[in-house]
Amino acid sequence: MKKIEILFILILICLKTNAQSAAEDKLGAWYMYNGSHKLNEKYSLQTMAHFRYYEVTSNFQQEIYRLGVNYKFNPKMNLTLGTSYATGDLAYNVSSPHLYEWRLYEDFNINSKWRKFKVRHRLRLEHRFIHKNIDTDETQNWFRYDLNVNYPITDSWSVYVFNEIFLNLDRSEVFAQNWTGAGFLRKINKNLKVKFGYFQIKQNSRTLKRVRIGLLLNTDFF
């Protein structure tokens, strides 16, 4: 598995070396925490904090915090209701107003398995309350569909691929963006995993490149 880590580092170096001056030519990074905290057999708390940058270690783009309550119908289906808060910089490397927003969201998750492949479908409705500057406020409703496939390599390592499409339901051109990526998961113990990977954000006018480095924490209070 050390070869995988070395290859990942070399990819980062190459992408950063080839970077130009526009946002779409930069290699950005997301530093992530995701948590699931079991309260009983049916309910759990979902927590999240993401810190996102236009470049690997600089040029702030967005930070977002999320809290939700999850209800498990059965091992294959569950529902999360929650809220999140985000603030972001609207432009790369120039002075611009920050965006602030609250979101309410509903997730419906379907989990399945085919041989060793684990598949998750997530359907999300988001209600975004956006404040761009002193006199600009708007409300938007979004639909997101995420397909995530995981395959174990060893007892400690697995590889994943995903694709997520975003639709803005309040605009005539509903397509907003599409995320496509892949990466590796490393299991540290039964409660803790680390994630690292690469993905692209396809928007109407540009494509952004990002690496993701994350910590996944699962706790059981039951």
* Residues 100-132: tens digit of each pLDDT: 999 999 999 999 999 999 999 999 999 999 987
Nearest to 97 by CA among 105, 87, 106: 87
From residue 150, how far is each of 8, 138, 145, 160, 182 by CA, in Å?
A: 18, 37, 17, 4, 10
- Judged against a pLDDT cut of 80, whether residue 93 lies above it is answered with no
Report yes or no on whether pTM surpasses 0.85: yes
For residues 64 and 50, the answer to whether their CB atoms sit within 8 Å is yes
As a whole number, mean pLDDT of residues 50-65 equals 93
Answer yes or no: are the C-beta atoms of 146 and 119 closer than 8 Å. no
